[in-house]
Structure 1
Amino acid sequence: MSVPAAFDYHRANTVDEAIALLKEYGDEAKVLAGGHSLIPAMKLRLSQPGHLIDIGRIAGLSYIREENGVIAIGALTNYTVLERSDLLKRYFPLIPEGTALIGDQQVRNRGTIGGSLAHSDPASDMPGIILALKGELVTQGPNGKRTIKADDFFIGTFTTALEPEEILTEIRLAIPAAHTGSAYEKLANKASHYAIAGCAAVITRGDDGTCSAASLAITGAAMQTTRASATEAALVGKKLDEAAVTEAASHAAEGLEIVSDIHGSKEYRAQMCAVVAKRAILRALERA
């Protein structure tokens, strides 16, 4: 079994302490939350931090609560809590539904929503789900707090808008409009459960039965978690019968930097984007 390179371990008891440690050790430091992304990378020596800053036991960063029309989720909330949350099932069933597809029960018991978002693996499920839900991410650093829209947060593969000395502390989601439905579909790698191609869809029906709003995010197929803008544009204002959905979904891979590897060629992944997008849209419509 592979083992990590040597490192110094630091346990942060507060967000301020974690920020101070990040400031002290700079590029040599990595933040540990649940550990189910970082530890495997360290064991393979793909990541070799000199200092590991454990934030996993900071009090007050694990919660799901309603605040003035917004659902706030603490960054250290683990997947099992998300999956079982009645509040999320009521307002954002996309999150429990998508969470149930992540890894296995051991992963869901330890992995955290904030860790997944900060890691920004394009094959992970949670970044695409939060992007489709148009979430806002609250960070804290030496200069205080700031709020970043999900559209601006995911910059590339394993790259986000987080500054080197910042910690992701909260995810905020505005309660959706009436007649809004959502769904997540993915073609998963059978071993890892990561997405080869996936689509999170959030669809709102207008009073006249047309699509008044559409938000779609693609996971797994591209170099980064990204929005399926062409499909969104093809849905809004349309009466969404199966033919219209099929046409809109056919554009799901447009403008994306599709990856090619042992799990699928660019052409295969692009086609699978259309397939999972159609399935996600149709299921979201049923729920709208």
Structure 2
Amino acid sequence: MINKQIYTFSSQQADFAVCEKSIKKHSKTFYFAFSQLPKEQAQSIFAIYAFCRTADDIVDLTKNSDELARLYEKLEAFEQGEIPDEPIFRALAVVFDHYEMEIQPFYDMLNGQAKDLEFKQPNTLADLQEYAYYVAGSVGLMLLPILSKHAPEIQEPAKKLGEAMQITNILRDIGEDYRMGRIYLPKEMMAQFHVCNADLGADRPNSQLIELWEYLAQIAEQAYDESLDMLPLIEPAARKPLYLAAVVYREILTEIRTHQYQMLTKRQAVGRIRKLELFHQATKELHQLTAGGANV
């Protein structure tokens, strides 16, 4: 453990490189979007991503509650100013010194990951949305101080964006999650749409599952729309990367529709050519979305 005061962006370049390697490997969408930020902002995003990825890997790969508890303890030490001597925490020390960061969303994300270790299928849509906050809406709050000087004013749309992305993940990974013994579709909604567990293990979705999928997809798409309210209060240099991340992630839903809802046996993704097309579209759309707020 070392006092975090000694850490700077320039002194911890090797640590930030470790974080960048993690996001570049595991999330091409986020890397594509956020690597366009000014260097220190991008590095800060990469550090937060690497922390979240560490927790995610504990849950999905090692499934070790003791290991997740140790990460929680390291975060507690970090909060007290005793920085674990590891690349991710050294990088985060720089981020917390440079921006007006809040620690609670980091704890919320770990609590969300703990829910997956003791997985229970959500009963209601409200349960699903609560889970989506803990594992993803919380991440929106982590990133916000890096992207805006008005973070306290736009927490709700930031949470909505994270939650929309998480519901998108769930809709993309229905078959994969089912094979891992997880069903994130709420029990009440499955009953309402006459979808049974066995339907999730089929080669192709039936009409009832597609109707349920579309119902949740429209909830996610509404959340994407509402999250855009924060764009005028995002730093000008960060607007395009943030908007691009949202647009590309939302496009996953379009890809699934285009491929006749093949989400039970194949993970759909947005190809690089389409990402580049969206990049150019985003440039044109942003001016309209932030009109009147560009100088906030």
Question: Do both proteins adopt the same fold according to a TM-score greater than 0.5, normalized to the shorter chain?
Answer: no
Structure with the higher strand share, 1 or 2: 1
Structure with the higher helix share, 1 or 2: 2
Q: TM-score, normalised by structure 1?
A: 0.33
Q: TM-score, normalised by structure 2?
A: 0.32
